[in-house]
Amino acid sequence: MNKTTLVTMALMVGAASLSQAAQQDGAAAQQSTAQQSAEKFNFCRWAGDALTLFDAERDNAENPFIQEFKLKFRGQWQVSALDPAGGTDRLKGASYGRDRAWNNEWRRFRIGAEAKVLKNFTVFANFNIGGLDGRETFDATTGDWSSSDTEGVLDELFIQGKFDPVTFTIGKHKPAFIGEYRTSSSKIITIERSALVNQLTAEKTWGISFKNSDSKARFGWEAGLWLNGYHDGTWAEPAFTSADNAMLGLSVNYAINDDNRLYLDYMHSFVREGRENIGYAGPGARDVVALTWEARQGRFNMMTEAMAGFNVLGADGRNEGSENVFGLTIMPSYRITDHFEAVLRYQIACGSNGIESDKRYYATNSAYSQTSDLLHGVYMGVNYYVCPSNPHMMKIMLGAEYLNSHGTDARGEKGFTGWSFTTAFRVNF
């Protein structure tokens, strides 16, 4: 474990301790002025406000051009260990005697800025910072494990305008369809999203979208058109490409009541068949449909979604035999206390030679094939929220997941079967 890892863990643990101390009630009368001042200091409140450099209302400085300017920071460091069925024979490097079941990385490290201008507009820019410790990968040629670095690339860059009853966004932003993917990476309650969600969703790319301004309205909608793009190794990727290489997204939602909402999402990719090596960034199938139900009651929350992908596309954007995939995710969670939350997720996905396991660790450390015909998975996790009033600002996540994949090929079973254990530290300001 390197110095970066040790420093990260120390900062997270220290911050957790500080926030707990900051939230303790009043002081005894005999305490010194310095002690009383320290107890009144609230780390969570301070941290949430520290990066807002200008707020016209807060600073009593009305300005017709700029109303707010804040810096943004999102970091996530995690370590994961695999226990595949078949033991060490299923770990990469086993034949060299250099197998390893664990991996660690900076999963996300983003720095950006957000400004509210001219009353109705928001300008947002966010960058993935490069040069940090990434996952270690195995080289079968040399038989060695080598460390990788994160790549510096533009994550998001857009202008958003709000004019009731419609809000528009133009620039590089996320096609936010399918429930788990619609949820921001800072707010997801599992360490990674489910396999089929990762497979079917599109990456952040350049486009324009529209939606209803009132997110709490009984009836809501969203529509957008994005370039599928391709990875060209530049800081602004995915690159702009031809007009036929685009994706369309449509979504409607309906609130049954204040605590229950249904979403129906649809995506279509216009990617051209037979086009190779474009580093495709669009949705994982020509047509994607998802139905999501989100509900809450007191401390209990539930997300259930059924999804399907028709005419599955490979990583290069080509049609891979018109295979279809189907899946279901059921994810209940319960806020045990203000600080602790328990999460359970069941996922099932099926499609002849069409399901891809999460490549992040299963493919990096395991010798299993990445594809399967049928996948079951159960995730069990506990999240610790350092600041309950703003839970996703700083949290520690522990998760264990068992996957069982079915199907046979020349090597035996396809897909990953076994356990994964992951710990993640996340901050989002």
DSSP 247-283: EEEEEEEEEEETTEEEEEEEEEE-PPTT--SS-B-S-
60 assigned to some structural domain: no
Q: What range does the domain containing 275 cover?
A: 164-335
| Distance between first and last Cα of the chain | 26
DSSP string, 310-350: EEEB-TTS-B-SS--EEEEEEEEEEE-SSSEEEEEEEEEEE
58 assigned to some structural domain: no
The conformation of residue 186, written as its DSSP 8-state character, comes to T
Using omega within 30 degrees of 0 as the cis cutoff, is the peptide bond preceding 165 cis?
A: yes
Q: What is the C-alpha separation between 60 and 143, in angstroms, rounded?
A: 63
Question: How confident is the model at residue 363, as a pLDDT?
Answer: 85
Question: How confident is the model at residue 275, as a pLDDT?
Answer: 52
φ, ψ at 365 (rounded to 5°): -110, -15
101 assigned to some structural domain: no
Q: What is the C-alpha separation between 376 and 404, in angstroms, rounded?
A: 5
The count of structural domains within the chain is 1
Burial of 11 (0-12, 13-18, 19+ CB in 10 A): middle
- Residue 224 has a CB neighbour count (10 Å cut-off) of 23
Mode of pairing for the β-strands spanning 394-406 and 408-409: unpaired
85 assigned to some structural domain: no
User: Would you tell me the crossing angle of helices 43-50 and 3-22 to the nearest 10 degrees?
Assistant: 120
Burial of 322 (0-12, 13-18, 19+ CB in 10 A): exposed
331 assigned to some structural domain: yes
Question: How confident is the model at residue 87, as a pLDDT?
Answer: 83
- Give residue 47's Cα distance to chain centre: 22
147 assigned to some structural domain: no
218 assigned to some structural domain: yes
Helices (H) and strands (E) in the chain — how many of each? 6, 21
Q: What is the C-alpha separation between 79 and 146, in angstroms, rounded?
A: 16
Per-residue confidence of the chain (429 residues) as pLDDT tens digits?
Answer: 443 443 344 434 344 443 443 344 333 334 444 454 445 778 788 877 888 999 998 888 888 899 999 999 999 999 999 999 888 888 999 888 889 999 999 999 999 999 999 999 999 999 999 999 999 999 988 889 998 898 899 999 999 999 989 999 999 999 999 999 999 999 999 999 999 999 999 999 999 999 999 989 999 999 999 988 776 767 777 766 655 588 999 999 999 999 999 999 999 998 876 555 557 788 999 999 999 999 999 999 999 999 999 999 865 555 555 589 999 999 999 999 999 999 999 999 999 888 888 778 888 898 888 888 899 999 999 999 999 989 999 999 999 999 999 876 545 567 889 999 999 999 999
Question: How confident is the model at residue 25, as a pLDDT?
Answer: 39
Q: What is the C-alpha separation between 148 and 133, in angstroms, rounded?
A: 6
Report which of 302, 399, 306 is spatially closest to residue 350, judged by C-alpha positions.
306
